[in-house]
């Protein structure tokens, strides 16, 4: 007979076993698989119109896929006319006759379909045959077979299509476009690896035509090139173990606080190599910014502007601390450069929204600035003197959509001006150059994605919300809808059981700032049940993790497993709210987003009884991988499970741009021994310092379940970020899960579906208690 103690132990073991088997919730992997991003895209087709405006016209064409196949349309915006670009059945019939095989008219594969401005017709190829299509008489003309070497990605054509620029062996070349085998004109002879005119400055290929960094002026008379000197920048490496023989990849990578960083030069060349092949280096250095430690000035991507002519080039020059910026005007014939105006913005100037518009070849300028705490547009005269403020108010003026110099009107996208509209919803406005008669042109309560015509004031507007499928229309300069193009078809989604996600609003940790977010629920949601909650995170500061427009996202599938999934912003996360909001995390790159996320989840749980705050998951990629791990380690008694992929866990070894821009860098003056040519025994030089708190410092705090994933050849966020964290966790005796994805870059590429299912399984096991073996197929094809 069992003793009383034995019977008690047996009962306890039975109870524990029974509880695990019966009360553990089974994840609904079948439903998740049905609503992956790829599957939903197949059910709806396209979710927006991508107009291909014809140069200097108010006409455009577009292709659009919906449940009835792929369609091509031609639109005359001025006339408000939309018509099929061709009859799909007739096109299929003509192709069938040409190739002696049948074609599906609903799924025609017309490769590299585009409009040839010079010929005034459309071109494409099917299989290995080129075709031309004349819109006026619907004539299809069979052309020649594709050449084996038809790839011209190396070529940059001048706007008038007379010249081609390219690079070879790191130098810059020109040739006549009408004869690709014609004479090569070599413009430079000092190009070398890492001080190159090639788009890929590290390429070791010689005697092959490669794409260059050169850009053409609109008048085709000159071209300019931003040449970056990286020769002294330290190298970084990854190893591709999947090559036939494992291969070392070497690249230049400047880290925060390092002495040797890339140096920018701007060169200009005439498109007249028969007369002159000499280039002009623009004088863009600034003495107080050119200490030997930091070299020359810096030009952010997009910081070079041109007018319609080529006599002058305009640039933005910033210092290394990112808080001072000059607007430059350079004479492209002499290289002489002048400062039109300057601005200081602390802690840093937001170059992500910075914009300079050249009006009437430099007679005036439109400039974007956050000097009031909200990004607004300002008007300057040709000498750099402020004329007037164009936009007014406590909202953020965003991208310029169109400038009508004749009517002296600026069209732009804005955020947060309307009290009853979500501050993340982009709205289209117009305002006169003198700041008068500002008008909102998009009355719909939605976010508006705008594409402007080359000629008149016409706009394709894709407007939507997460719960409003996209409607695509053409508007005129007064905001009137003159043509309706498409509406996303969600009928198949609804038949499958799809429901739109919900938006919500909570308070930040200061109990004053509004935090916006989106919530996804299982489609068999039962409000009387309790669901674990998973938060998808990305800290910004350039963008926040929740969708604004109608789109298909991974969170839909994850929710179907049996979770409530949310994504929300946080102070410091977005530049379109205000300068205060955007700059909130400066100097605290690790910790700034965590409190708002935790507090937001607590508010949602208090609001909704179906949220189980005892089971909290968190995940993210890149910055989100960094943030999700930081949250788990900072609040180990709140977050239970984290899946962190490609995280920059140690921002001290991430790239200089990100870390110094968003966390900060300080210049420290130091005395050093002078060289032998100097009369002074010592001299002063500037060293730059940037020290950022890391996730490695928190490794001892791990209590919950953590899965770390990284690609082995990630040359953006180096695998060392995750490996260092793994090392710290091991040294602290912590159990965690760790996977390196072979041969994958930062985005995981073809391994993304596998990783998504890995994430499903991890949350199902540790939040639902679903440890069933073989309950998910990691190799399900996305078809």
Residue listed under structure tokens 């040839």: 116
Q: For residue 736, give every residue at least 6 positions away whose Cβ sits within 8 Å of its Cβ, in sequence order, or none.
A: 702, 705, 706, 707, 708, 726, 729
Q: Is the dihedral of CA 426, 431, 437, 442 positive or negative?
A: negative
Helix (H, G, I), strand (E, B) or coil at 257: coil
Q: Note the pLDDT of residue 556.
A: 97
Is pLDDT of 296 > 60?
Answer: no
Is pLDDT of 153 > 70?
Answer: yes
Is pLDDT of 295 > 50?
Answer: no
Helix (H, G, I), strand (E, B) or coil at 146: coil
pLDDT digits (tens, 9 = 90+) for 506-549: 999 999 999 999 999 999 999 999 999 999 999 989 999 999 99
Please return the burial class of 179, using the count of CB atoms within 10 Å of its CB with bins 0-12, 13-18 and 19+: exposed
Is pLDDT of 270 > 60?
Answer: yes
Is pLDDT of 7 > 80?
Answer: no
Q: Note the pLDDT of residue 15.
A: 45
Q: Which residues pair with residue 644 across a beta bridge? A: 620, 708
Is pLDDT of 702 > 60?
Answer: yes
Q: Which residues pair with residue 223 across a beta bridge? A: 216, 269
Angle, to 10 degrees, between the axis of helix 720-731 and the axis of helix 623-634?
20
Average pLDDT over residues 203-215: 92
Cβ atoms < 10 Å from Cβ of 263? 20
Is pLDDT of 365 > 50?
Answer: yes
Max distance between CA atoms of the chain, in angstroms, equals 109
- Let me know how many helices (H) and strands (E) the chain has, helices first: 12, 44
Q: Note the pLDDT of residue 590.
A: 93
Is pLDDT of 17 > 60?
Answer: no
- % of the chain with per-residue pLDDT over 70: 92
Transcribe 531-596 into DSSP letters: EEEEEE----SS--SS--SS---HHHHHHHTT-EEEEE--TTS-TTT-HHHHHTTTT-TTTTTHHH
Q: Note the pLDDT of residue 18.
A: 43
Average pLDDT over residues 375-387: 97
Which element (helix H / strand E) includes 728?
helix 720-731
What is the average pLDDT score of the chain? 91
Average pLDDT over residues 390-399: 96
Q: Which of 13-27, 274-288, 535-549, 658-672 has the lowest mean pLDDT?
A: 13-27
Q: Which residues pair with residue 534 across a beta bridge? A: 565, 617
Average pLDDT over residues 454-477: 96
Is pLDDT of 679 > 70?
Answer: no
pLDDT digits (tens, 9 = 90+) for 742-783: 999 999 999 999 999 999 999 999 999 999 987 777 775 555
Is pLDDT of 461 > 70?
Answer: yes
Banded model confidence at residue 285, pLDDT cuts 50, 70, 90: confident
Q: Note the pLDDT of residue 671.
A: 74
- 210 secondary structure, DSSP code: B
Q: For residue 215, give every residue at least 6 positions away whose Cβ sits within 8 Å of its Cβ, in sequence order, or none.
A: 156, 223, 224, 225, 304
pLDDT digits (tens, 9 = 90+) for 400-427: 999 999 999 999 999 999 999 999 999 9
Banded model confidence at residue 299, pLDDT cuts 50, 70, 90: low
Q: Is the dihedral of CA 762, 768, 770, 776 positive or negative?
A: negative
pLDDT digits (tens, 9 = 90+) for 101-132: 999 999 999 999 999 887 889 999 998 899 99
Average pLDDT over residues 265-294: 80
Cβ atoms < 10 Å from Cβ of 510? 11
Average pLDDT over residues 291-305: 56
Q: Do 671 and 607 form a contact (C-beta atoms < 8 A)? A: no
Q: Note the pLDDT of residue 253.
A: 96
Is pLDDT of 20 > 50?
Answer: no
- The strand order across the sheet containing 81-84 reads 52-53, 59-66, 69-76, 81-84
Q: Note the pLDDT of residue 180.
A: 63
| Structure-token pair, residue 245 | 């023989």
Q: Do 535 and 630 form a contact (C-beta atoms < 8 A)? A: no
Average pLDDT over residues 233-261: 95
- 195 secondary structure, DSSP code: B
Residue listed under structure tokens 């996202």: 553
What distance in Å separates the CA atoms of residue 743 and residue 239, rounded to the nearest whole number? 8
Q: Note the pLDDT of residue 404.
A: 96
Q: Which of 72-81, 134-143, 335-344, 698-707 has the lowest mean pLDDT?
A: 134-143
What structural domains and CATH numbers belong to the chain? 24-43+492-650+696-768 (3.40.50.1820), 50-145 (no CATH)
């Amino acid at each position: 007979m069992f003793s009383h103690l034995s019977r008690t132990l047996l009962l306890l073991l039975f109870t524990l076993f029974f509880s695990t088997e019966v009360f553990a919730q089974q994840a609904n992997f079948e439903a998740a698989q049905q609503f992956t991003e790829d599957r939903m895209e197949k059910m709806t087709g396209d979710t927006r119109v991508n107009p291909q405006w014809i140069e200097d016209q108010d006409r455009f064409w577009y292709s659009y896929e919906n449940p009835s196949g792929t369609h091509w349309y031609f639109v005359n915006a001025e006339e408000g006319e939309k018509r099929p670009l061709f009859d799909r059945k007739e096109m299929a019939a003509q192709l069938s006759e040409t190739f002696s095989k049948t074609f599906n008219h609903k799924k025609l594969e017309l490769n590299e379909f585009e409009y040839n401005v010079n010929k005034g017709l459309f071109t494409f190829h099917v299989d290995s045959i080129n075709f031309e299509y004349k819109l006026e008489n619907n004539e299809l003309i069979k052309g020649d077979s594709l050449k084996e070497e038809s790839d011209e990605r190396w070529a940059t054509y001048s706007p008038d299509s007379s010249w081609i620029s390219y690079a070879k062996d790191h130098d810059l070349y020109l040739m006549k476009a009408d004869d690709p085998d014609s004479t090569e004109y070599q413009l430079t002879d000092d190009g070398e690896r890492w001080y190159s005119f090639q788009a890929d400055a590290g390429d070791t290929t010689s005697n092959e035509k490669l794409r260059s960094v050169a850009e053409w002026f609109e008048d085709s008379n000159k071209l300019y090139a931003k040449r970056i000197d990286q020769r002294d920048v330290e190298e970084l490496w990854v190893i591709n173990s999947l090559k036939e023989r494992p291969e070392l990849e070497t690249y230049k990578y400047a880290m925060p606080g390092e002495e040797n960083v890339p140096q920018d030069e701007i060169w200009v060349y005439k498109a007249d190599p028969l007369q002159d092949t000499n280039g002009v280096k623009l004088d863009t250095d600034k003495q107080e910014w050119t200490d030997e430690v930091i070299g020359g000035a810096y030009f952010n991507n997009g910081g070079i502007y041109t007018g319609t002519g080529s006599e002058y080039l305009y640039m933005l020059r910033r210092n290394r601390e990112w808080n001072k910026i000059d607007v430059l005007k350079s004479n492209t014939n002499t290289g002489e450069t002048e400062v039109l105006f300057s601005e200081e913005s602390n802690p840093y100037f937001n170059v992500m929204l910075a914009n300079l518009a050249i009006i009437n070849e430099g007679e005036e300028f439109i400039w974007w600035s956050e000097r009031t705490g909200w990004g607004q547009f300002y008007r300057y005269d040709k000498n750099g003197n402020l004329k007037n403020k164009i936009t007014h108010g406590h909202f953020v003026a965003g991208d310029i959509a169109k400038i009508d110099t004749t009517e002296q009107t600026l069209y732009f996208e804005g955020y947060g001006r309307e009290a009853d509209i979500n501050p993340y919803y982009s709205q289209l406005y117009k305002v006169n150059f003198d700041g008068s008669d500002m008008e909102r042109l998009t009355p719909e309560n939605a976010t508006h994605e705008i594409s402007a015509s080359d000629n008149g004031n016409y706009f394709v507007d894709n407007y939507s919300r997460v719960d409003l499928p996209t409607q695509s229309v053409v508007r005129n300069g007064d905001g009137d809808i003159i043509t309706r193009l498409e509406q996303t078809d969600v009928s198949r989604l609804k038949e499958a059981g799809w429901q739109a996600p919900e938006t919500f609003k909570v308070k930040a940790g200061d109990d004053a700032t509004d935090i916006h977010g989106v919530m996804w629920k299982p489609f068999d949601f039962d409000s009387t049940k309790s669901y674990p909650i998973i938060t998808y995170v990305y800290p910004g500061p350039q963008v926040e993790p929740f969708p604004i427009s109608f789109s298909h996202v991974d969170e839909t599938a994850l929710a179907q497993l049996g979770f409530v999934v949310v994504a929300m912003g946080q102070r410091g996360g977005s530049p379109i709210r205000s300068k205060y909001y955007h700059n909130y995390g400066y100097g605290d790159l690790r910790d700034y987003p965590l409190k708002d996320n935790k507090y937001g989840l607590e508010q949602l749980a208090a609001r909704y009884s179906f949220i189980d705050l005892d089971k909290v998951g968190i995940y993210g990629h890149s910055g989100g991988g960094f943030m999700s791990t930081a949250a788990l380690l900072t609040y180990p008694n709140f977050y239970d499970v984290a899946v962190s992929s490609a995280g920059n866990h140690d921002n001290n070894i991430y790239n200089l741009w990100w870390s110094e821009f968003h966390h900060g860098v300080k210049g420290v003056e130091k005395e050093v021994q002078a060289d032998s040519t100097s009369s002074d025994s010592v001299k002063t030089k500037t060293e730059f310092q940037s020290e950022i708190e890391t996730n490695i410092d928190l490794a001892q705090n791990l209590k919950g379940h953590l899965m770390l994933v990284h690609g082995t050849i990630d040359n953006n966020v180096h695998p060392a970020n995750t490996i260092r964290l793994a090392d710290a966790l091991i040294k602290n005796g912590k159990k965690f899960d760790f996977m390196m994805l072979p041969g994958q870059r930062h985005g995981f590429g073809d391994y993304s579906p596998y990783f998504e299912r890995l994430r499903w399984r991890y949350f199902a096991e540790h939040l639902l208690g679903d440890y069933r073996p073989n309950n998910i197929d990691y190799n399900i094809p996305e078809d």
